[in-house]
Amino acid sequence: MSWIHELGLRWPILQAPMAGAQGVELAIAVSEAGGLGALPSAMLDPEALDAALGDYRRRSARPLNVNAFSHVTPPVDAAAQARWQASLAPYYAEYGLTPPEPATGPGRRPFDAETCAVLEAHRPAVVSFHFGLPSPALLARVKAWGARVLSTATTVEEARWLEARGVDAIIAQGLEAGGHRGHFLSDDLSLQLGTLALLPQVAAAVEVPVVAAGGIAGPRSVAAALTLGASAVQVGTAWLRCPESTIRPLHREALASDAARHTALTNLYSGRPARGIVTRLMRELGPLSERAPAFPLAAAGLAPLRAAAEEAGSGDFSPLWAGQDTSGCRAVPAAEQLRWLAGDGGP
Amino acid sequence: MSWIHELGLRWPILQAPMAGAQGVELAIAVSEAGGLGALPSAMLDPEALDAALGDYRRRSARPLNVNAFSHVTPPVDAAAQARWQASLAPYYAEYGLTPPEPATGPGRRPFDAETCAVLEAHRPAVVSFHFGLPSPALLARVKAWGARVLSTATTVEEARWLEARGVDAIIAQGLEAGGHRGHFLSDDLSLQLGTLALLPQVAAAVEVPVVAAGGIAGPRSVAAALTLGASAVQVGTAWLRCPESTIRPLHREALASDAARHTALTNLYSGRPARGIVTRLMRELGPLSERAPAFPLAAAGLAPLRAAAEEAGSGDFSPLWAGQDTSGCRAVPAAEQLRWLAGDGGP
């Protein structure tokens, strides 16, 4: 019996925070139905985060997981930006666009004192980090209000590193997962393991509860992950077609199509490897390219292209995040999806 | 209840055929203990195969799975061989070796009429193929003596392709698996899925029984695979430290060491991607290289290097095949390992 079960969840199912793909609506729906909802903070400024947390608390008394990225924002490298814009120049021309200023476009904020102050005012029950952990001082502030802290490990070494720094549970993220890989000790992708191989090894290596992530896409994989030693599972992709997600219609359609069978890890959209459905951009530049600037600076150069293409009904330049099993992406309310994942036929 | 259960196995556990790493001893031990033993034929000439099958039958009345490769041997490409030898030249010099003749070294035979004739004389209960299927005429000969036919799928498309051609069961091989990937419809490695994502999708796509492979390394993963919809599991890596395997001491030692935590897909050892522990050769040439000749012709150039390095106690040039979870590689008799995998504490 781990502390996760003491949160009063009906099922040990965590909704994966998906920055850019969801806000409070999905979190509330999952939490109210008996899972653990999550609010991603990385693409919200402090005011928007404060408003979202207030909205959540007015509408749900259930525990919430607030997620933050713990990367270090790199300085803008003018030469790298110029190389990136040169790689994208034919596409700007195709859409009649002027290359954007390097500093524009959607960013991802790392967890900082300002974000922490917003959370201190709301005291969410769970705070989860991706890409390692923030500074010890910031981590101590999070723990000070009693929050349970989660972070992602993609290797046994990362799991041990996180446990030594006091996390309360480890999310073991297998290679099947959609969106950004959480690795932080090495960027050698050959170290990344499938969930079936990673999960039992992490569970054997640490004392804290382990949450399985990556390829958990239906009732069978939920049950299998618990069999493999997980205390809970974290599900992302399977919520994306629920009405509570905020993804665009073309992303919804891609998830329901045969195109979703072919995903790849790509650094083109943000600068860090993340899994999404293979797009024209990924095919033409190669999904992993040294030309993409460091995370999160690759996104700015793509923003106008993405907007123009989407306006024309094309997802050629959109990040169509998805894991390796989209067969569970049902267009049903999140509460119904949760019951299905839990193996409860329900009413 | 699938035909696999009608073979009279005590547990639905198949021993993965591992050419170059085992012979009849492992197959007999597993079959006699209640699993399905396998004999790989790809590195045996017809006389040796006939002798091995005779040996098996004298010592066991249990069903046997004989495995064959169904690749097409490419013509020797002198330019490709010359490029490969140039890549290896610094290593030949390091060991004071003369570059070998292109045609020498260990080969892999595809399944052909001669091999089929040997099998016809012994009529094994199960015949499994890797890299697709042989010609329809050869496949018909195999089915004519009543053999059940298995083949490996690494994607849903390959599973459907195999089912349409009459296989009796499909081995769904996830990306975690050690040794050679079985893909045959596309060599785009981004199409390869983790077992947790592949298995339920294959099980949903075909009517024939599905055997899970890749990362099945202990009792928990055996149970999880059955939960995911598999009729049986196929286990490879977990037998490699059993006394019945034929791998060299340095391979055994590597499997028991921290080095086994880092595997990668490499085409350097044979010309096709296969998963093994990262070696000096893989680090220095890159694990996937366009300089490696087509399968199976890369092996010849490495053979003298491997032999010289092993003689000096080094595995720098050896294929140290292993899957992504070596935590179950116990140095115990195969019969004991089978009972452990099955979750039977035993006496």
Complex prediction ipTM = 0.95
Report DSSP state, residue A142: H
Q: What is the distance between the alpha carbons of residues B126 and B37, in angstroms, rounded to a whole number?
A: 10
Which residue in A156, A173, A187, A196 has the most chain B C-beta atoms within 10 A of its own C-beta, making it the best mutation to test that interface? Answer: A196
In the predicted structure, residue A193 carries a pLDDT above the cut 50 = yes
Note the pTM of the prediction, 2 decimals.
Answer: 0.96
Q: What is the distance between the alpha carbons of residues A277 and A274, in angstroms, rounded to a whole number?
A: 10
Around B17, how many Cα atoms within 13 Å sit in the side-chain half-sphere? Answer: 25
The per-residue pLDDT for range A196-253, each reduced to its tens digit, is 999 999 999 999 999 999 999 999 999 999 999 999 999 999 999 999 999 999 999 9
B64-69 and B274-277 as β-strands: parallel, antiparallel, unpaired?
unpaired
Could you tell me if residue B151 is left (phi over 0), alpha (psi between -120 and 50 degrees) or otherwise beta? beta
How big is chain A, counted in residues?
347
User: How much of chain B, in percent, has pLDDT values that exceed 90?
Assistant: 90
**Residue A33 to residues A5, A8, A345, B294: CA-CA distances in angstroms?**
15, 12, 14, 54
Which of B196, B216, B229 is the closest to A195 by Cβ? B196
Which residue in B196, B228, B267, B283 has the most chain A C-beta atoms within 10 A of its own C-beta, making it the best mutation to test that interface? Answer: B196
CB A250 within 8 A of CB A155: no
Give the residue-averaged pLDDT of A130-139. 97
pLDDT value, residue B138: 98
CB B132 within 8 A of CB B151: yes
Q: How far is B47 from chain A (nearest CA, A)?
A: 39
The per-residue pLDDT for range A16-69, each reduced to its tens digit, is 999 999 999 999 999 999 999 999 999 999 999 999 999 999 999 999 999 999
pLDDT value, residue B103: 59
| Structural domains present in chain A | 1-71+108-240+330-347 (3.20.20.70), 74-106+257-328 (no CATH)
CB A225 within 8 A of CB A202: no
Quickly count: other Cβ atoms within 10 Å of residue A282's Cβ: 26
CB A211 within 8 A of CB A4: yes
Burial class (CB in 10 A: 0-12, 13-18, 19+), A45: middle
pLDDT value, residue A170: 98
Strand order in the sheet with A263-266: A179-180, A274-277, A263-266
DSSP output for A175-238: TT--EE----S---GGG---HHHHHHHHHHH-SS-EEEESS--SHHHHHHHHHTT-SEEEE-GG
pLDDT value, residue B108: 87
Say if B201 is an interface residue toward chain A (CB within 8 Å): yes
Give the residue-averaged pLDDT of A74-92. 92
In the predicted structure, residue A283 carries a pLDDT above the cut 90 = yes
pLDDT value, residue A99: 87
Strand order in the sheet with B179-180: B179-180, B274-277, B263-266
The per-residue pLDDT for range B51-69, each reduced to its tens digit, is 999 999 999 999 999 999 9
Query: Could A278 and B221 be called an inter-chain contact, meaning their C-beta atoms sit closer than 8 Å?
Result: no
| Residue A121 host element (H or E) | helix A113-122
**Residue A285 to residues A7, A114, A269, A280, A282: CA-CA distances in angstroms?**
45, 37, 12, 8, 6
Q: Which amino acid is at A239?
A: W
Q: How far is A193 from chain B (nearest CA, A)?
A: 7
A274-277 and A179-180 as β-strands: parallel, antiparallel, unpaired?
antiparallel
Q: How far is B158 from chain A (nearest CA, A)?
A: 13
Mean predicted lDDT score pLDDT of chain A: 95
Q: Which amino acid is at A245?
A: S
pLDDT value, residue A347: 40
Output Rg (C-alpha) for chain A, integer angstroms: 19
pLDDT value, residue B1: 62
The per-residue pLDDT for range B4-44, each reduced to its tens digit, is 988 999 999 999 999 999 999 999 999 999 999 999 999 99
Q: What is the distance between the alpha carbons of residues A336 and A344, in angstroms, rounded to a whole number?
A: 10
From chain A, the residues in CB contact with B197 under 8 A are 176, 215, 217, 323-325
In the predicted structure, residue A345 carries a pLDDT above the cut 80 = no
Quickly count: other Cβ atoms within 10 Å of residue B157's Cβ: 15
Q: Which residues of chain B have pLDDT under 50?
A: 105, 346-347
